[in-house]
Amino acid sequence: MKRGYYTAIMSTRMKRSLVSEYPLERRYVKNMSEKVKDFLFVSFLFFLPFQTVYLLREPMIGEEKWQYGTIGIYISSAVLVFAVMIAATLKTKAFGKKAFGRLIRTMWRKRRSDALLAIFVLWASLSIFWARDHALALYGFLILLVAADALMMARDMVRRGLLDRIVVALLLGAVTQSLIGIWQFLSQDTFSSTFFGMSTHEVWQAGTSVLKNDSGRWLRAYGTFAHPNMFGLYLAGVLLLAFWWIVVSTRLRWLEKSWKRVAFSAMAAVILLGIFVSFSRLAWVGFSMGFSVLFSEWIRRRRTTDPVTRKYVWAFFGTVLISGAVFSFLLRETTFPRFDGSTVDREGSVTDRMTTYRDAVRVIRERPLLGSGIWNSTAELISLDPGRSIWNIQPAHDVPLLVVAELGIPGLVLLICFLVSLTSEMIKKRSATATVMFLLFVPSLLFDHFLWDSVSGMLFLTTLLGIASSDD
């Protein structure tokens, strides 16, 4: 009896110990998982501009590479996928099966934009079945799915007060890209690097983005991106985000150290020069409009900040304005002709865009309801015109038109509903970032295609939308 009594006592104590210790252990594992997820997401932001890729498919048509049919695993998207897997595991454990069903039912009521995004992604997944190139459509859908997760994760990090980590990671990546781009323009040379995901761009080679004026052909800065427009928009978005960060903060403790203030100003100037040497009209226009809105927002908020911070923020804005004036003067022979009508005609950019618009209309007429399948517009054009040279086949330089060509009219309606819902949510919060991001992206959305059919473009777009849709 005595032995059994002590055995029962010990058994009860062990049970109490286990009950009290396991929740602590689970919380420790959860906290560690959160830290690993945040670290991976920040690492993804730094690696985002690098085009380091492991190619799974590199199709050749008529001895020419079909660029828009390439399938590969990018280092940035691979890092993001690991972060998404950890986030999905944490969400599943947090909500459980019953709560997860309740979460889905309440999504429409609490955040309608998330529900519309989920429906849009679902419609894109269905397009795999009627696409001509099923593998390419599956690849495009997976990138869209990961991009939607990037939006959610960016928004979650900002809500948890980790915006500073996001900004620092993007700033470091943008400064690195700017230095590479500045070197490319000054030396008028590039080099190929598998490690950095860079390709060689020769000034004399057809297809290279150059400036054409009376003094000859000038190589535009690429950074590690596939096109200068992508390079310029990336730098513009990061710089606007950094200034939004200092505008919405009532007190910036990191400004108390002088070397950090100098470093931030220097980075802003370097990134601004990178935007200039991209010679991207879309990036210039988007940045100028977004910067104007941020400056107006700062005028409205300046009385709520402490005097020391106010002085430093004025200094940062002055750095951009003065640097912009200096760079405009130094690069006036190549900058101002970008908006000259004769230069635009000489470059042939308008003619090329009109050709892609006609091609998109041709695809839409073939499949107006279902579309050609996500990322399959060029595959459909190859099927419709097999004798045409592959280098002359490009996606429509207009994202809404391209979405109709690939996902049909329902796809465009769903996309517009999602963007309208997301924008209305930001406007209700009186978020200045809604206007800034709208002005930044609209020129590229209407006159280019990389925000939809490139991995880095789509991930960058959704990441900034996630940051902008968080609370100010």
pLDDT in tens, 326-343: 888 887 777 766 666 555
287 inside domain: yes
pLDDT for the residue numbered 250? 54
- Tell me the residue range of the domain where 47 lies: 34-468
**pLDDT greater at residue 315 or residue 136:** 136
191 inside domain: yes
**Distance between CA 435 and CA 330 in Å, rounded?**
31
**Distance between CA 251 and CA 231 in Å, rounded?**
32
Q: Determine the average pLDDT of the residues in 163-183.
A: 92
CA dihedral 103, 107, 113, 119 (to 10 degrees): 80
12 inside domain: no
pLDDT in tens, 113-166: 888 999 999 999 999 999 999 999 999 999 999 999 999 999 989 888 888 899
**pLDDT greater at residue 26 or residue 160:** 160
**pLDDT band at 249, cuts 50/70/90?**
low
Q: What would the two tokens of residue 405 be?
A: 């060509």
**Distance between CA 301 and CA 214 in Å, rounded?**
46
14 inside domain: no
Query: Taking 80 as the threshold, does the pLDDT of residue 2 lie above it?
Result: no
21 inside domain: no
**pLDDT greater at residue 256 or residue 155:** 155
DSSP letter assigned to residue 221: P
pLDDT in tens, 422-463: 888 777 766 677 788 888 999 999 999 999 999 999 999 999
Lowest-confidence pick of 98-107, 164-173, 408-417: 98-107
* Residue matched to tokens 């109709």: 404
Q: Which residues, 6+ apart, have CB-to-CB distance to 279 below 8 Å?
A: 211, 220, 221, 228, 232, 334, 335, 338
Q: 2-47 vs 134-159: helix axis angle to the nearest 10? A: 110
Highest mean pLDDT among 30-34, 244-248, 276-280: 276-280
**pLDDT greater at residue 26 or residue 79:** 79
- Give the number of domains in the chain: 1
pLDDT for the residue numbered 431? 65
19 inside domain: no
Q: To the nearest whole number, what is the mean pLDDT of the chain? A: 82
433 inside domain: yes
279 inside domain: yes
